[in-house]
Amino acid sequence: MNGAGRSASFSAPFKDPPMTDTPTRPFATATDSGHGGLQTFVTAGPATIVADLSAAQGGLDLGPDPHELVAAGLAACTTMTLRLYANQKGWDISGLHVEVFSSFDKETTPHERFERIITLEGDLTDEQRERLFQIAEKCPIHKLLTAGAKVVTTVAGN
């Protein structure tokens, strides 16, 4: 964001601090549990959860696997995006539920497919429902998954 369009009582426009080469705090961390299995402690924001693989994949199924975490991010982002928009418009949404299914097919490109089912409850017109469908497509995680992202890796330590 460049700060354009923000209202403030300052004489000069607000500018976000410049991005640095190294973030001051990671968005997420993952640390091996140290117990010899695949269980991994994942911290994002103030929360820490255990990620794992299913027993069939060699894990103990003690938490979501990485694909489930991506699907959860899409579901959460969609829910938050729709709720923010509906609140801003003053629309009556009494219930909002998003399910995301993930499948993999090496014969198609891209190989990974996410199916999102959005359930809206409330007094909404057909036009409002259509607009919310359009807004769901603007969810930042939806845009990230459909546009792709650059991943830069650095190996640290001994």
User: What's the length of the chain?
Assistant: 158
- CA 46, 51, 55: angle at the middle one, nearest 5? 160
Q: What does the mean pLDDT of the chain come to? A: 86
- What is the Cα 29 distance to its own chain's centre? 15
For residue 10, the model assigns a pLDDT of 33
Structural domains present in the chain = 65-158 (3.30.300.20)
Task: Summarize pLDDT for 52-96 with one digit per residue, the tens.
Answer: 999 999 999 999 999 999 999 999 999 999 999 999 999 999 999
Q: Are 113 and 99 contacting, i.e. CB atoms less than 8 angstroms apart?
A: no
For residue 19, the model assigns a pLDDT of 53
- DSSP 8-state code for residue 19: P
- The alpha helices in 6-98, defined as continuous H runs, are 66-89
For residue 2, the model assigns a pLDDT of 37
Mapped to the 3 state alphabet, what secondary structure does 85-130 carry? HHHHHCCCCCEEEEEEEEEECCCCCCCEEEEEEEEEECCCCHHHHH
Assign 2 to helix, strand or coil: coil
The answer to whether residue 12 scores a pLDDT higher than 90 is no
For residue 71, the model assigns a pLDDT of 96
Task: Summarize pLDDT for 96-110 with one digit per residue, the tens.
Answer: 999 999 998 889 888
Strand 47-51, strand 95-104: pairing: unpaired
Question: Sorting pLDDT into bands at 50, 70 and 90, what band is 35?
Answer: confident
